[in-house]
Amino acid sequence: MNWLQLLSHKRPGESSTTSHDQTRSRFEQDFDRIIFSHPFRKLQDKTQVFPLPEDDFVHTRLTHSLEVSVVGRSLAKNAGTYLLEKHKELREEGYTLHDFGGIVGAACLAHDLGNPPFGHSGEDSISSFFLTNKKGRFFQEKVSEQEWEDLTTFEGNAQGLRILNGKGNGGLKLTFATLGAFTKYPLSSYCEKEKGRKSQKKFGYYQCNAELFHEMASEMGLVSVGKDKWCRHPLAFLVEAADDICYHIIDLEDGCRLGLVPFETVKDLLAEIIGDSYSEGKVQKIASHNERLGTLRALAIGQLVQECSDVFIANEEGMLDGTFDQDLTSLIPSAAAMQKIIKLSIEKIYRSKLVLEKEAGGYEVIDNLIEAFATAVYADKFDQARPKHKSILRLLPEEYTVQLNEKVSVYEALQIVIDFVSGLTDSHAVRFYKTIKGYRLPV
Q: If you write DSSP's letter for every residue of 27-70 in order, what string do you get?
A: HHHHHHHHHTSHHHHGGGGSBSSSPPPSSS---BHHHHHHHHHH
Task: Report whether 73 contacts 309 (CB < 8 A).
Answer: no
User: How many other C-beta atoms are found inside a 10 Å radius of the C-beta of residue 438?
Assistant: 7
**Predicted pLDDT at 383:** 85
Least confident of 58-62, 126-130, 335-339, 397-401: 58-62
Q: What is the largest CA-CA distance in the chain?
A: 73
Least confident of 165-169, 340-344, 436-440: 165-169
Distance of CA 385 to the CA centre of its chain: 36
User: Rounded to an integer, what distance in angstroms lies between the CA atom of residue 185 and that of residue 190?
Assistant: 13
Q: What is the mean pLDDT of residues 308-329?
A: 96
- Which band of pLDDT confidence, cut at 50, 70 and 90, is reported for residue 56? low
pLDDT tens digit sequence for 268-311: 999 999 988 888 888 788 878 788 888 899 999 999 999 999 99
Least confident of 7-21, 358-372, 412-426: 7-21
Q: What is the mean pLDDT of residues 418-437?
A: 89
**Predicted pLDDT at 239:** 97
Q: If you write DSSP's letter for every residue of 221-232 in order, what string do you get?
A: TPPB-STTBBPP
Between 170 and 150, where is the model more confident?
A: 150
- Which band of pLDDT confidence, cut at 50, 70 and 90, is reported for residue 66? very high
Give Cβ neighbours of residue 134 (< 8 Å, ≥ 6 apart): none
Q: Is 357 exposed, middle or buried (0-12, 13-18, 19+ CB in 10 A)?
A: exposed
Percentage of residues in the chain having pLDDT higher than 70: 93
Q: CA angle 396-399-404, nearest 5°?
A: 75
The CATH architecture annotation of domain 117-153+354-443 reads Orthogonal Bundle (1.10)
Is 169 a residue whose pLDDT tops 60?
no
Is 371 a residue whose pLDDT tops 90?
yes
User: Rounded to an integer, what distance in angstroms lies between the CA atom of residue 295 and that of residue 289?
Assistant: 10
Is 331 a residue whose pLDDT tops 70?
yes
- Count Cβ neighbours within 10 Å for each residue of 188-222 and write b for 16 or more, e otherwise: bbbbeeeeebbbbebbbbbbbbeebbebbbebbeb
Is 67 a residue whose pLDDT tops 90?
yes
**Predicted pLDDT at 347:** 84
Task: Report whether 238 contacts 312 (CB < 8 A).
Answer: yes
Average pLDDT for the chain: 89
Q: At what angle do helices 263-274 and 335-345 cross, to 10 degrees?
A: 160
User: Rounded to an integer, what distance in angstroms lies between the CA atom of residue 324 and that of residue 204?
Assistant: 19
**Predicted pLDDT at 440:** 64
- Which band of pLDDT confidence, cut at 50, 70 and 90, is reported for residue 205? very high
Residue 159 backbone phi and psi in degrees, to 5: -65, -35
**Predicted pLDDT at 235:** 98
As a whole number of Å, the CA-based R_g of the chain is 22
**Predicted pLDDT at 172:** 85
The CATH architecture annotation of domain 237-353 reads Orthogonal Bundle (1.10)
Angstrom distances, CA of residue 259 to CA of 123, 218, 266, 300: 28, 50, 11, 20
User: Rounded to an integer, what distance in angstroms lies between the CA atom of residue 198 and that of residue 183?
Assistant: 12
Is 417 a residue whose pLDDT tops 90?
yes
**Predicted pLDDT at 21:** 60
**Predicted pLDDT at 51:** 56
Find, among 82, 87, 79, 81, the residue nearest to 104 by Cα: 79
- Which band of pLDDT confidence, cut at 50, 70 and 90, is reported for residue 25? confident
Q: If you write DSSP's letter for every residue of 156-198 in order, what string do you get?
A: HHHHHHHHHTSS-TT-----HHHHHHH-SS-BBTTSPPPTT-G
**Predicted pLDDT at 19:** 61
Q: What is the mean pLDDT of residues 56-81?
A: 90
Q: What is the mean pLDDT of residues 21-50?
A: 84
**Predicted pLDDT at 272:** 92
Q: What is the mean pLDDT of residues 350-373?
A: 82
User: Rounded to an integer, what distance in angstroms lies between the CA atom of residue 302 and that of residue 170?
Assistant: 35
Find, among 114, 119, 125, the residue nearest to 363 by Cα: 125
Q: If you write DSSP's letter for every residue of 97-135 in order, what string do you get?
A: HHHHHHHHHHHHHHTTTT--TTHHHHHHHHHHHHHH-HH
Q: At what angle do helices 119-132 and 410-422 cross, to 10 degrees?
A: 150
Q: What is the mean pLDDT of residues 187-213?
A: 90
Q: Is 404 exposed, middle or buried (0-12, 13-18, 19+ CB in 10 A)?
A: middle
pTM above 0.85, yes or no: yes
Show me where the domains of the chain are located: 117-153+354-443, 237-353
User: Rounded to an integer, what distance in angstroms lies between the CA atom of residue 267 and that of residue 248?
Assistant: 14
